[in-house]
Structure 1
Amino acid sequence: MNAQVRVWCLRHAESENVTAALAGALPDAPLTERGHEQSVRAARALAGDPIRAVYASTAVRACETAEPLAAAHGLPVLVVPGLVEMGIGREEGSGDPAVRARTAEVLRSWVVDGDLDERVADGESGHEVLDRTTTAFRCIAEWHSGETAAVVGHVASLTLALSRLCGLGSSVWGAPLAHAEPFLVEWDGGRWCCAAWPG
């Protein structure tokens, strides 16, 4: 991995699990009508960029967000399981505000306090989420030396991974990723950089 790699990152567009205030990875939740419009706007914003591959988590909402972008470049959507959202175990799909609060508390522990042992119920630890997400980014960098790719993921897993990879630390906390707003991260052969966190 010696040549520069540019990766446009996006949190998925607005989805039904978000509007219903349900917690968890919820892989089958589709985009809302507004979410489909957001994904088309994101594709238009990146239409002039020489994107060589479009990756998404296995979640329906991530794939649906990626589809207009991939189509604009004549590409398929390539799914990467390591990009999925943090798992919260038995609390998956809960509408309980206390579960959502606990999920935010755990993410804060990971990003701000660096405590990756924390987890929601019997869900994933920060170590697990960080390992699989950073592995996905490293593989993409290996596959696209000297090229540009796009990644559609999720707020918690992207925030944790990129805050670590790019050395942003706790500065990203309080600036949550908006739906379907592209931002650039770059691999220069030695380190990752995110010049402007979009939150």
Structure 2
Amino acid sequence: MRSGSNAFAYDALAAWPNATGRVMALCGPAGCGKSHLAALWAERVGAVPLNGSEAALADPLELEGRPVLLDIAQDADDETLFHLINLAQQDGGALLMVSRPSPRRWHVEVPDLRSRLDAVRVVAMEAPDDAALSAILAARFAERSITPGDGVIDYLVLRIDRSAAAAAAIVERLDAEHRPVTRALARQVLGASADLFEEPSEGLQP
């Protein structure tokens, strides 16, 4: 779902890979939606999904000439990162690295790898804005065939943490009540879900 807070990243991935480069890093805080956007990209281009800490176990022959999605990329060892960046330069190759910190902040020992990571295009994401969080909540409700009552989504947007994880969690907890999702129910469930609370603005009414 494209919104103000992720529009730049959404558009960048929609048009990539292209002539501007074969390696890109998608970075941002937990819950900003970067993994979701990366998964959409991987599905579109047929990328091989890898996890940073396990990437060294991948068969290089299966990666040649194919796009690769490397999640938690900062956990990959130097040799694996160097190899994946090289593979991305082949015809049909590309490497999307997903992490919280920018590659420029990763700790690496190999000087040549350091210079390559510093040259990577970085697309930064931020925590979801109101529009994005509303869309995420609406999508999570729809997945469970729930029609929330008037004002429920707006009520939740003002109160839960600004993350996709918090949105999914509150919808799951509301669904577990097996009752119509009204603002009163949302208030009740949030009252027992302090872990999902965003600090309310001064003067915010319950």
Question: Normalising to structure 1: TM-score of the pair?
Answer: 0.32
Name the structure, 1 or 2, with higher relative contact order (CA <8 Å, separation 6+): 1
Max radius of gyration: which structure? Answer: 2
More helix by share: 2
Give the TM-score normalised by structure 2: 0.31
